[in-house]
Structure 1
């Protein structure tokens, strides 16, 4: 991805399509723990209860993604930012559509301003 190029309307539409195709939000960070997924840090459609539930006491259908599964070591990023990554992913579900809407709103304002300048 070349970040030096301006984002086109088509780029925004592609990002919006990705967001629309994803599991509906809101998403939350969940901390779960069991013999199969020790210290699981997950992104979920249900809020964290603070109880660190063990399987099968949580609904696996609520889990969207995981940023840490230590035993066995399925998911364990080298920089140990699993909590930060989980928070980013969970917030992105809400914030990406907001950013798209804000870009479109600002573009509309710029178009109006350009039109006003052209008429002046």
Structure 2
């Protein structure tokens, strides 16, 4: 995930009404309740709708990034454990080979 996309997601989240939000249906209309606006359907909550509409792509992208970082973290921890178990001589050999 590049920094531009992450900044766009953050800007949408910052512009939206603070949560929690709740889905709500009134007759044939579907919307969401927020603690500040009630049933959000007015133009004043356009930022909330922008945030909600982008969630379908933003959330999977964020989940993928979290999974990538968790995997990287796991591998780095494994590598660190290998280094911790090395003797000073082995560390010297590893560093000289880099």
Give the TM-score normalised by the residue count of structure 2: 0.42
The structure where helix makes up a greater share of residues is: 2
Q: Which has the higher contact order (CA 8 A, sep 6+)?
A: 1
Radius of gyration: which is bigger? 2
